[in-house]
A = this chain, B = another copy of it.
Amino acid sequence: MSETPDSAVRTYIDDHRAAFLDDLMEWLRIPSVSAQPEHAADVCHSADWLAAKLSETGFPTVEVWPTDGAPAVFAEWPSEDAQAPTVLVYGHHDVQPAAREDGWAGDPFEPVIREGRLYARGAADDKGQVYFHTLGVRAHLAATGRSAPAVHLKLLIEGEEESGSPHFRALVEKHADRLAADTVIISDTGMWSADTPTVCTGMRGLAECEITLHGPEQDIHSGSFGGAVPNPATAAARLVAALHDEHARVAIPGFYDGVTALTDRERELFAELPFEEAQWLRTAKSAATHGEAGHTTLERIWARPTAEVNGIGGGYQGPGSKTIIPSSAMVKLSFRLVAGQDPDHIEEAVRAWAADRLPAGIRHEVTFGAATRPCLTPLDHPALQSVVRAMGRAFEQPVRFTREGGSGPAADLQEVLGAPVLFLGISIPSDGWHAPNEKVELDLLLKGVETAAYLWGDLGENWRHAD
């Protein structure tokens, strides 16, 4: 049994929920839209507001860290127990743009509570999920009678996530010593559904490239020359067609090198989720599923690497026709990567594959952008076990496992800090991230508070550094 009595936590939360919500609503009134220059001052105000609240919460160290863009907030609250693990919580205080005319029922920056839901831009993504940590750590202290958390607790709340985190990696590298942690907890994701609490155990990585193919020095007449010289648009298409074999597996030699295969246990856990294909297809706005043979849809989007064409272009694309062999064509490809894959190796493999497959007379260039590494926490990792137990106590039901198909700054934290990454989020798909009428379910928000309250105690108790 845990040192933290569940009833004490719940009582504390009940007593403080009104003030907690008032504070959160005050924060949501600050339109901290990082993508819009006219809100730059609001993003700074948001950082200062959060810093003040974290000091009020009890964090002895709170700092606003400037970047070349919007500021981040760092806070630290050491445990009195030297053997306690160090946990870094990640979130962000900036929000997506929002305007009433996009379809909001009211002002997106004037929060309202209706039928158990708190509506406002940032309610779920990500201010609500950052802010539950303030009441969470207070409830942990109150219920255990501690004056400092059972873990060394650090928070890093960035201000540019909704703008692609352009300065985040540099920030983490600069402050790597201050940010050092045994594990990173990302509070910027969600769960399967309100009825199915889940923990995410990994994100896919991302490598992106553009391949440009050059044929004739200029567009040439398809009557005079058609059938006798290589066509770069055809070459581009044949390259893309060669990305996948007939089983929809990626056919680039070496692409799957090192891939951490799903265990039978992980596949069973995915299969336990109440996945409904018709519902999922509505979300994907697609008419059918299509993917790697031998894998379910969830395995395909979460745990298998992919190659997708994001764009293709060449020759005449206007109305009517133009009988040319175009002088060039290009494809933009992105590769989602899973644990065990190395972006550098992928780049080499793609370059060799492309060079190998083009006909004589077609010149080509391959340009890779910055890659994001995949991250994956093993199911038996002690910190993951603590999250699952804490969440299970809060939700009073079994916690299942998901992964995230996208890629994000979590990977930078994992890579720079060398710490495994976990995901603690209570948002659900209907919360409308980036959409009008974004909301958070108050019940789930408070379950997030409760999970955090149990988590620090569980981690401190079960994952100690050697004496």
Task: Give A contacts to B, CB under 8 Å.
Answer: 204, 206, 208, 210, 215-218, 220-231, 233-234, 236-244, 281, 284-292, 297, 300-301, 304-306, 308-317, 320-327, 329-332, 334, 336, 359-363, 369, 404-407
Does the CB pair B223–A407 fall under 8 Å? yes
* A301–B222 CA distance with the chains assembled, in angstroms: 9
* A291–B243 CA distance with the chains assembled, in angstroms: 23
* A395–B354 CA distance with the chains assembled, in angstroms: 52
Contact residues in B for A226 (Cβ distance below 8 Å): 301, 306, 308, 334, 336, 405
Does the CB pair B336–A223 fall under 8 Å? yes
Does the CB pair B329–A312 fall under 8 Å? yes
Residue in chain B with minimal CB distance to A203: B223
* A67–B69 CA distance with the chains assembled, in angstroms: 65
If A315-B309, A361-B286, A361-B290 touch, whether A323 touches B208 (CB-CB below 8 Å) is yes
Does the CB pair A334–B323 fall under 8 Å? yes
CB < 8 Å: which of B228, B241, B313, B404 contacts A300? Answer: B228
If A241-B242, A334-B222, A369-B321 touch, whether A234 touches B288 (CB-CB below 8 Å) is no
Q: Please give 9 more A-B residue pairs, beta carbons under 8 A apart, in addition to A241-B242, A311-B316.
A: A208-B321, A224-B284, A224-B406, A229-B289, A233-B309, A236-B312, A289-B361, A309-B326, A317-B330
CB < 8 Å: which of B225, B312, B313, B406 contacts A223? Answer: B406
If A223-B206, A223-B406, A240-B238 touch, whether A290 touches B230 (CB-CB below 8 Å) is yes
Does the CB pair B336–A215 fall under 8 Å? no
If A227-B291, A240-B237, A241-B237 touch, whether A310 touches B321 (CB-CB below 8 Å) is yes
Does the CB pair A223–B237 fall under 8 Å? no
CB < 8 Å: which of B300, B326, B407 contacts A227? Answer: B300
Measured between C-beta atoms, what is the minimum distance from A46 to chain B in Å? Answer: 26
Does the CB pair B306–A310 fall under 8 Å? no
* A315–B234 CA distance with the chains assembled, in angstroms: 17
Residue in chain B with minimal CB distance to A204: B223
CB < 8 Å: which of B222, B241, B292 contacts A238? Answer: B241
Residue in chain B with minimal CB distance to A297: B228
CB < 8 Å: which of B222, B313, B316, B404 contacts A317? Answer: B313
Measured between C-beta atoms, what is the minimum distance from A360 to chain B in Å? Answer: 4
CB < 8 Å: which of B210, B225, B312, B363 contacts A405? Answer: B225
CB < 8 Å: which of B230, B238, B322 contacts A288? Answer: B230
Residue in chain B with minimal CB distance to A210: B321
Q: Closest 7 A-B residue pairs measured CB to CB? A: A288-B361, A223-B406, A241-B241, A237-B240, A227-B306, A311-B315, A230-B290
Residue in chain B with minimal CB distance to A305: B227
Does the CB pair B310–A323 fall under 8 Å? yes
Residue in chain B with minimal CB distance to A404: B223
If A222-B336, A285-B218 touch, whether A313 touches B313 (CB-CB below 8 Å) is yes
* A284–B300 CA distance with the chains assembled, in angstroms: 45
In the complex, 29 of the A-B residue pairs with CB atoms within 8 angstroms, ordered by the A residue number, are A208-B321, A216-B284, A216-B285, A221-B406, A223-B336, A223-B407, A224-B284, A224-B405, A225-B284, A225-B286, A225-B405, A226-B334, A226-B336, A226-B405, A228-B284, A228-B289, A228-B300, A229-B290, A233-B311, A237-B309, A237-B331, A287-B362, A289-B361, A309-B315, A311-B326, A312-B312, A312-B329, A322-B332, A323-B334
Does the CB pair A369–B311 fall under 8 Å? no
